[in-house]
Amino acid sequence: MFKSVKTGLGLACVLAVMAGCSSTDTDDSANQMVEQTPPPVVDETPVTETVVPLDNVVYFDFDQSLLKPSTRELLIKHADRMRASTSGTVRLEGHADELGTREYNLALGERRANAVRDFLVLQGVNAANLEVISYGEERPAQEGSSESARAMNRRVVIN
Amino acid sequence: MMKKTVSYFFATLVSCVLAVSAHAQLVVEIVDGNQDPTPIAVVPFDWSGSGVLPEDVSSIISADLRRSGLFAPVPRDDMLSFPKTPEQVSFRDWRMLGTEYVVTGRMQPQAGGYLLSFDLVNIFGQSKMFTKQVTGGAQQLRDIAHRAADEIFEAITGIRGAFGTQMVYVQETQRGGQPSYALMLSDIDGARSRQIRRFSAPVMSPSWSPNGQEVAYVSFETGRPAIFRENLRTGARQQLTNFKGLNSSPTWSPDGSKLAMVLSKDGNPEIYVLDLASGRFTRMTRHFSIDTEPNWMPDGKSLVFTSDRGGKPQIYQLTLATGQVDRLTFDGDYNARPRVSPDGKTLVMVHRSRGVFTIATMDIVSGRMRVLTETRLDESPSIAPNGAMLMYATKRGSKGILAAVSLDAGVKYSLPSQQGNVREPAWSPYFD
């Protein structure tokens, strides 16, 4: 589980770079990112505010859509930012592992994304700004049939 | 006979409209056959035209019969003679080989195509059972062979052959580091595969219209799941749904007038029926659980579907006129994605036992369950229109492949793809 959270953090950083965000933060995950990727083009625009990218993936147990306690902590941070933010809709993408049927997993992915949505709404996020999409098992984060791959695939991605 | 030939010719035009790839992408591997298959010799056919035929018709017939698991075709090298007509068949020679049936045939050119005359001879009965003719266009040698195999199969087993049917399936490949998805169409033996459409986002749940002219499927190309119908002959396509949430699991009613599907626009997945002529949606289930994977009973009066309303996914039957819901499966803690045999007596489903996902059948009246497959991660069963076999998806290593098993579990073969992962086979109906 620890491993998957770390990988998730790395992924969040890569996504942040791709989105053009600039971060001067010096925490571990940022260092890790610098080691793994070529240095990004230097942005000369002065940065007035730095935002630490939050892990944007939460994970679930097999055939479950209950939020884990660790997930709740992360989602509260997301909710704080979403309440403060004015930038449009957030997509909650629900996913399932390869076990079970594809159509049932599509429904399961939606149930997971709904669980995240409902929690965020309870934290005061405007439901109209949250869009739920399920991909079921059609877009695995990691290929393969190992339990660790499956654990990485039972997820909701906050985009 | 004439009428039959003409309509068959028309139906197989579908395959000519689409681009045909020269090689088969799926290759048949026989895994397991019946204990006591019937020995039959399909003698190389006489050809009265010039040059060499582009397809070996008698070999295709042999392969069809072998794949059914009910026949053991005699290898060509073992044949003592190559009779061209029933009169030339030496009963004594074939009896010594243990051959029970001999097929002789004569191919001849005719305007725009070919004519096959073929005979089925019963060796032990020392009698000719029939002589029949099949015609087809210049690109239809494989269709001619499958039609002849159907006739031979039915004459001996009493079961209508399904060798001339097709399947639609999903193929996933990597293109420039990105997954690419294609809806594919091929003959049921995996030959003549061709792409119906390519997608950069996932595509899933293909389902045939009962007349074999259209497929419905779910595509994520709009950024959300949406249900489409597409005409295989013309390529005409229509988006049927664009609701918030799930738009999933379309299956055509037996009369072709409706689509059952799953929509979650009301908050959670419910079964709906769309009347295609009026465009009207009717909600069929009302439950806070997951209701999904609807499939029609052959009489069109009820649906079977998957629901976790009892805590775990199980299969239920919904009577459309009354809305009554009855639970059908009780064995195991995961039974899902039901399909119904053409006679309405048997369910096939994905069944989990001891943590392994297999394909199982269940007799609807007695409730008796039987596991058909021994591999893991088996899913998406689709039954042949004659009810004799089903095609499903499974994994070999990390690769998605297609496989087939007879409903009595006696016959098994697999169809690995030479390219990418393949899954979600949908066996076509008869085309006539």
Partner B contacted by A64 (CB < 8 A): no
Contacts B245 to A, Cβ<8 Å = 110, 132
Burial class (CB in 10 A: 0-12, 13-18, 19+), A38: exposed
Q: Residue A158's domain spans which residues?
A: 54-159
Residues A123 and A80 in one domain: yes
pLDDT tens, residue by residue, A110-127: 999 999 999 999 999 999
Q: What pLDDT, on a 0 to 100 scale, did the predictor assign at position A45?
A: 54
Residues A82 and A150 in one domain: yes
For chain B, list residues with pLDDT below 50.
1-23
Q: What pLDDT, on a 0 to 100 scale, did the predictor assign at position A46?
A: 53
Sequence-separated (6 or more) residues with CB below 8 Å from residue B372? B348, B358, B359, B360, B361, B390, B405, B407, B409
Domains of chain B: 37-157 (3.40.50.10070), 166-427 (2.120.10.30)
Residues A49 and A63 in one domain: no
Report the CATH number at residue A139.
Answer: 3.30.1330.60
Tell me if A106 and B248 make a contact (CB, 8 A cut-off). yes
Q: What pLDDT, on a 0 to 100 scale, did the predictor assign at position B221?
A: 97
pLDDT tens, residue by residue, B294-344: 999 999 999 999 999 999 999 999 999 999 999 999 999 999 999 999 999
Q: Which of A100, A132, A145 sits opposite B245 (nearest CB)?
A: A132
How far is residue A146's CA from residue A58's CA, in Å, rounded to a whole number? 19
Residues A39 and A106 in one domain: no
Q: For residue B247, what are its two tokens? A: 């738009």
Q: How many CB atoms lie within 10 A of CB A25?
A: 12
User: What is this model's ipTM?
Assistant: 0.90
Report the candidate in B259, B211, B255 with the shortest Cα–Cα distance to residue B432: B211
Q: Has this prediction a pTM greater than 0.95?
A: no
For chain A, list residues with pLDDT below 50.
1-36
Q: What pLDDT, on a 0 to 100 scale, did the predictor assign at position A47?
A: 52
CB pairs under 8 A, 24+ apart, for B365-372?
Answer: B367/B328, B367/B329, B367/B330, B367/B331, B369/B329, B369/B331, B369/B332, B370/B409, B371/B409, B372/B348, B372/B405, B372/B407, B372/B409
Partner B contacted by A107 (CB < 8 A): yes
Residues A29 and A64 in one domain: no
Count of structural domains, chain A? 2
Residues A89 and A155 in one domain: yes
Tell me if B337 and A107 make a contact (CB, 8 A cut-off). no
Residues A17 and A81 in one domain: no
Q: What pLDDT, on a 0 to 100 scale, did the predictor assign at position A39?
A: 53
CB pairs under 8 A between A and B: 80
Residues A104 and A156 in one domain: yes
How far is residue B359's CA from residue B423's CA, in Å, rounded to a whole number? 14
User: Of A12, A34, A53, which one is at a domain's C-terminal end?
Assistant: A53
